[in-house]
Amino acid sequence: MIPAVMPTYARWDVAADHGEGCYLYAADGRKFLDFTTGIAVTGLGHSHPHLVKAVKEQAERLWHVSNLFHIPGQERLAQRLVDHSFADTVFFVNSGAEAVELSLKVARKYQSATGHPERYRIIGCEGSFHGRTFATLAAAGNQKYLEGFGPPMEGFDHVAFNNLNEMRAAVGPETAAILVEPVQGEGGVRAPSPGYLKALRRIADEEGVVLVYDEVQCGMGRSGKLFAHEWEGAAPDVMAIAKALGGGFPIGACLATERAAIGMTSGSHGSTFGGNPLAAAAGNAVLDVMLEPEFLPRVEAMARLLSKRLSRLVETYPRLFAELRGSGLLLGIRCVVPAADVVTRLRHEGLLTLTAGENVLRILPPLIVGEREIDEAMTILEKVAREWPA
């Protein structure tokens, strides 16, 4: 008999009950060090007091009004994102996939509004992930996720990630936009070579193509900067964010320059829930914490510490581990043994981690992680590696 919850996930034997900081507690009393953070969502850990307070206060005041009203919290959140990014304007949605979809709509609309309606094709990268809607599935082109859902939406081309020759060759007179994750998450925690984003920026400028970043996973502090592309200083025209933006409250956003958003006028897009007062309160509370001057440098320091210790682990156990990858606190270890088995063993020892493509063990600690939790995680990782059956 089909379960009441549609069975599209192979779920773990953990019934989540409550969380505090870096820890998640199961209904049966087990305690876990949570280095999955709801898949890069609970960047500030569980039940962060400032977020709890902000959402509680807003819940008592006003949850929702439509976007026919001015929503002061939404306007403030948009302004703060504008002040701390390349963007001039922001539209709020409820998920990563929606943020990517809107980013692609903005790119196509820009082309049509500037006299190039024939430019509608989007170039995406192999190994990317952009969500589970029709357009975002087509953009990523992952056959496994497209299977059985009919012909993929037309208008998407694909090139190898981190390959500029293929990208240059793929851009044509019908190309509207290039869509890329500055660091691939689901695909295997892959950071491109230095210079890749800058080169994409140049190609986009030369060819009149819109450069769209998907920072749904790598953005919002995870890289040690507010947005991962800041490490290269190569700004996009349009960017999708979500995951950690609400700290666990569902909110996403499409950020754009004034030029790229030229076609986005009254009536050109909408959302019932997007940026409602409760979501905006969560987003503003997240920014209150992340924009504190000491916050991101601390993320960077903890990321350096964790990657140093993980690379030593990889060197010590070549029988299990092949390579450390990633950026900031978006880290992956390409495994020799099945990564899913490592995730299971770690979970039984009290450390929650994830897999990613290319047999990668994905490690997403909360951005508030400290030396103590890193020590604890390393102790568990070392134990599992040491005791791995021959």
For binding to ligand PLP (CB under 6 A), which residues are involved? 95-97, 100, 129-131, 181, 185-186, 214, 216-217, 242-243
Distance CA 289, CA 360 (A): 30
Distance CA 218, CA 310 (A): 19
Question: Residue 62 Cβ, how far from ligand PLP at the closest point, in Å?
Answer: 25
Q: Of 171, 174, 158, 169, which is closest to residue 108 (Cα–Cα)?
A: 174
Question: Residue 37 Cβ, how far from ligand PLP at the closest point, in Å?
Answer: 12
Comparing CB distances to ligand PLP, the nearer of 216 and 342 is 216
Bridge partners, 23 (sequence order): 20, 33
Query: Terminus-to-terminus CA distance in the chain, angstroms?
Result: 40
- Which helix (DSSP H) or strand (DSSP E) does residue 355 occupy? strand 354-356
Question: Residue 85 Cβ, how far from ligand PLP at the closest point, in Å?
Answer: 17
Backbone angles phi, psi at 331, to 5 degrees: -120, 150
Comparing CB distances to ligand PLP, the nearer of 162 and 379 is 162
Comparing CB distances to ligand PLP, the nearer of 126 and 207 is 126
**Residue 60 to residues 69, 277, 316: CA-CA distances in angstroms?**
19, 11, 53
Cβ neighbours of 20 (radius 10 Å): 13
Comparing CB distances to ligand PLP, the nearer of 184 and 373 is 184
Question: Residue 36 Cβ, how far from ligand PLP at the closest point, in Å?
Answer: 13
Distance CA 14, CA 171 (A): 46
- Burial zone of 259 (CB within 10 Å; 0-12 exposed, 13-18 middle, 19+ buried): exposed
Cβ neighbours of 151 (radius 10 Å): 8
Comparing CB distances to ligand PLP, the nearer of 110 and 213 is 213
Question: Residue 308 Cβ, how far from ligand PLP at the closest point, in Å?
Answer: 25
Comparing CB distances to ligand PLP, the nearer of 252 and 385 is 252
Question: Residue 199 Cβ, how far from ligand PLP at the closest point, in Å?
Answer: 20
Give the CB-nearest residue to ligand PLP: 96
Residue 182 structure tokens: 């500055």
Backbone angles phi, psi at 18, to 5 degrees: -155, 170
Cβ neighbours of 123 (radius 10 Å): 24
Comparing CB distances to ligand PLP, the nearer of 34 and 214 is 214
Question: Residue 303 Cβ, how far from ligand PLP at the closest point, in Å?
Answer: 18
Question: Residue 383 Cβ, how far from ligand PLP at the closest point, in Å?
Answer: 30
- Burial zone of 379 (CB within 10 Å; 0-12 exposed, 13-18 middle, 19+ buried): middle
Comparing CB distances to ligand PLP, the nearer of 37 and 217 is 217
